[in-house]
Chain A
Amino acid sequence: MPEQTLRHAALSERRVLALAPARRRLIILILLAAGWEACARWYDNSLLLPSFTQTISALLAAILNGELPSRTGASLEVLLVGYAIGILLAVVITAVAALSRWGESFLVLLTSMFNPLPAIALLPIALLWFGVGSASLIFVVVHAVLWPLTLSCHAGFRAVPQTLRMAGRNLGLSGSRYVFDILFPAALPSILSGLRLGWAFAWRTLIAAEMVFGASAASGGIGWYIFVNRAQLETANVFAGLLAVILIGLLVEALVFSTLSRLTVQRWGQEA
């Protein structure tokens, strides 16, 4: 059947297109690791530049002795609390902005003031207000999430088609019903990209903040782990910590956000 052949052709073409970049990336990754290994062996100073294999074995050791998992756990705990608070505040602010002009002006003003401000710059104030502890970390993480997410939600709301708005109001929806039944789901593509962005900002901010101080030496996160190992000249561990930061970022992106997007906006045809 010609139709079937066509479909086969389309499928195999798609497979080639989908696999090629992944395969290319893997090859590049292997080349980079090999280059790193070669450089490190040639330079031969593991205090400044541990080799790839040294870093990997340091990473495995730190995972197996339980230190890296517990550091990671501490970081993720702070991150999740800050992320959740940030989402909650963003939802409240955008909902209010959708329902009132004063709310919208408030949102526009605050996001234009705070979005350009690196959250880490608030750390001194956080330390002043909350002292050395996870409250300060949470404070800066909330800032890292809140403003980019608020901006994306707001942009998503404004992009909701007029017809869809009217269809919702036609059913008698108003106030928070209208916002949560129509605007939020309709704006989900934009909100999801805000959540991704917020996650990346929060993760970076947290690692940076942890390097300034650990919540306490015993329960500090990955940032603290990196910082302490640098001080002790355990450079392979520093590299292992950095690798862990990268891997967790990739993992969350691949597992959480890709899944979320596949279950929602992709399924609804709101995003390719």
Chain B
Amino acid sequence: MTPGSRSAGDRLTAQLAVSGVTLRYAAESGPVTAVDNVSFTIGKGERLVLLGPSGCGKSSLLRAVGGFLRPVSGEIRLDDAAVTGPGPDRMMVFQEFDQLLPWRTVAGNVEFALRRARHLSAAEARTVARDWIGRVGLSKFATAFPHTLSGGMKQRVAIARAFAVQPAILLMDEPFAALDALSRGRMQDELLALCQETGATTLFVTHAIDEALHVGTRILVLSANPGRVAAEYGVPEAAADRGAAQLAKLQADIQAVIFAGHGPMDDRDIAHA
């Protein structure tokens, strides 16, 4: 599917259907099944979190949705069109800071994405980029090169770039995992605000239960070796329903599921929670 084939009203609000997807890598010691027969759907405007210990195949699943990894079986459909390769209708935000082009400035990175992915003219790209850079609070750094920015600022640029392109769905792979706890909390709030403002359909990967509860509208807990769906939870959206007690109970439930499918040696994987 080309991004142009989608009507403007569908932007940021697509539906994703992952059905029976199995992902395998050819490792030296033989094939490694990273994800086994996983199915889920994401409705328009939903924020689904893939939660699980490291190594359970979260990144692999996200890469498959991104079109970088072909399932050995099963199918991924975005708005009823099969995903066959990478494309700007599924913008990814990675954990790694080197996802920005080091030879372009903050504004240059966003403008480049707009020109290549949305085929905007230079002038249009400049306007849209300025808007999004302002919305992530980086107006003062528009002409800075990425290597002069902090980790949190780099992630803000990557997020601005992803939103600016107006993908059908946002794919985020532990975008805040490499940040310090303070920045992480603030970035979660800012991302949440942007998602709610735009109604963006989002697939968010994390290994931290608190982050999953904070960011998601729905949580899919994966078990490891190979990655399978262990449980699914809805997160109450309304502020009134997000009582501390209720969240604590949800957190305890999820923790129990993760521990059940996991040896005690792996406690460190969810130490963040």
A residues touching B (Cβ–Cβ < 8 Å)?
161, 163-164, 166-167, 169-173, 177, 181-182, 185-186, 188, 264, 267-270
Among A164, A167, A267, contact of B92 (Cβ-Cβ < 8 Å) = A167
Of all A-B residue pairs in the complex, the 4 with the closest CB atoms, nearest first, are A269-B147, A163-B96, A169-B86, A268-B102
Among A181, A185, A268, contact of B116 (Cβ-Cβ < 8 Å) = A181
Among residues of A, the one whose C-beta sits closest to the C-beta of B148 is A269
Q: List 10 A-B contacts (CB under 8 A).
A: A163-B94, A163-B96, A167-B99, A170-B66, A171-B88, A172-B87, A181-B116, A268-B145, A269-B146, A270-B103
Interchain CB contact under 8 A, A173 and B98:
no
Interchain CB contact under 8 A, B96 and A185:
no
Interchain CB contact under 8 A, B94 and A166:
yes
Which residues of chain A are near B87, meaning CB under 8 Å? 170, 172
Task: Give the CA-CA distance A169 to B103 in the complex, in Å.
Answer: 17
Task: Give the CA-CA distance A252 to B86 in the complex, in Å.
Answer: 43
Number of interface residues, chain B, beta carbon within 8 A: 27
Among residues of A, the one whose C-beta sits closest to the C-beta of B3 is A172
Interchain CB contact under 8 A, B117 and A163:
no
B101 close to A (CB within 8 Å)? yes
B230 close to A (CB within 8 Å)? no
- Tell me how far the C-beta of B20 lies from the nearest C-beta in chain A, rounded to whole angstroms: 25
Which residues of chain A are near B88, meaning CB under 8 Å? 170-172
Among residues of B, the one whose C-beta sits closest to the C-beta of A177 is B116
Which residues of chain A are near B68, meaning CB under 8 Å? 166, 169
Interchain CB contact under 8 A, B91 and A170:
yes
B113 close to A (CB within 8 Å)? yes
**Given A172-B117, A185-B101, 5 further pairs, Cβ under 8 A:** A171-B113, A181-B112, A268-B147, A269-B146, A270-B103
Interchain CB contact under 8 A, A269 and B86:
no
Interchain CB contact under 8 A, A166 and B66:
yes
Interchain CB contact under 8 A, B103 and A170:
no
Majority DSSP secondary structure for residues of A touching B? helix
Which residues of chain A are near B100, meaning CB under 8 Å? 167
Among A171, A181, A186, A267, contact of B145 (Cβ-Cβ < 8 Å) = A267
Task: Give the CA-CA distance A177 to B117 in the complex, in Å.
Answer: 12
Among residues of A, the one whose C-beta sits closest to the C-beta of B165 is A171
Task: Give the CA-CA distance A171 to B193 in the complex, in Å.
Answer: 24
B residues touching A (Cβ–Cβ < 8 Å)?
3, 63, 66, 68, 86-88, 90-92, 94, 96, 98-103, 112-113, 116-117, 145-148, 165
Find the residue from B66, B101, B145, B146 having the highest chain A CB count within 10 A: B101
Find the residue from A171, A182, A264 having the highest chain B CB count within 10 A: A171
Interchain CB contact under 8 A, A268 and B103:
yes
Interchain CB contact under 8 A, B145 and A269:
yes
- Tell me how far the C-beta of B160 lies from the nearest C-beta in chain A, rounded to whole angstroms: 14
Task: Give the CA-CA distance A264 to B91 in the complex, in Å.
Answer: 28
Interchain CB contact under 8 A, B148 and A164:
no
Among residues of A, the one whose C-beta sits closest to the C-beta of B145 is A268
Among residues of A, the one whose C-beta sits closest to the C-beta of B68 is A166
Task: Give the CA-CA distance A182 to B99 in the complex, in Å.
Answer: 11
- Tell me how far the C-beta of B59 lies from the nearest C-beta in chain A, rounded to whole angstroms: 11
Task: Give the CA-CA distance A106 to B91 in the complex, in Å.
Answer: 35
Interchain CB contact under 8 A, B116 and A167:
no
Among residues of B, the one whose C-beta sits closest to the C-beta of A166 is B68
Find the residue from A173, A177, A264, A268 having the highest chain B CB count within 10 A: A268
Interchain CB contact under 8 A, B103 and A172:
no
- Tell me how far the C-beta of B178 lies from the nearest C-beta in chain A, rounded to whole angstroms: 12
Task: Give the CA-CA distance A232 to B87 in the complex, in Å.
Answer: 70
Which residues of chain B are near A172, meaning CB under 8 Å? 3, 86-88, 116-117
- Tell me how far the C-beta of A1 lies from the nearest C-beta in chain B, rounded to whole angstroms: 23
Task: Give the CA-CA distance A172 to B146 in the complex, in Å.
Answer: 22
Task: Give the CA-CA distance A269 to B146 in the complex, in Å.
Answer: 8
Task: Give the CA-CA distance A54 to B98 in the complex, in Å.
Answer: 56
Which residues of chain A are near B147, meaning CB under 8 Å? 268-270
Interchain CB contact under 8 A, B103 and A185:
yes
Among residues of B, the one whose C-beta sits closest to the C-beta of A169 is B86
Interchain CB contact under 8 A, B66 and A270:
no
Which residues of chain B are near A170, meaning CB under 8 Å? 66, 86-88, 90-92
Which residues of chain A are near B112, meaning CB under 8 Å? 171, 181
Which residues of chain B are near A181, meaning CB under 8 Å? 112, 116
- Tell me how far the C-beta of B99 lies from the nearest C-beta in chain A, rounded to whole angstroms: 5
Task: Give the CA-CA distance A264 to B112 in the complex, in Å.
Answer: 18
Interchain CB contact under 8 A, A171 and B116:
yes
Which residues of chain B are near A269, meaning CB under 8 Å? 102, 145-148
Which residues of chain B are near A164, meaning CB under 8 Å? 98-99, 101
Which residues of chain A are near B91, meaning CB under 8 Å? 170
Interchain CB contact under 8 A, A182 and B117:
no
Interchain CB contact under 8 A, B98 and A163:
yes
Which residues of chain B are near A264, meaning CB under 8 Å? 103
Known: A169-B86, A171-B88, A268-B145. A188 touches B117 (CB 8 A): no
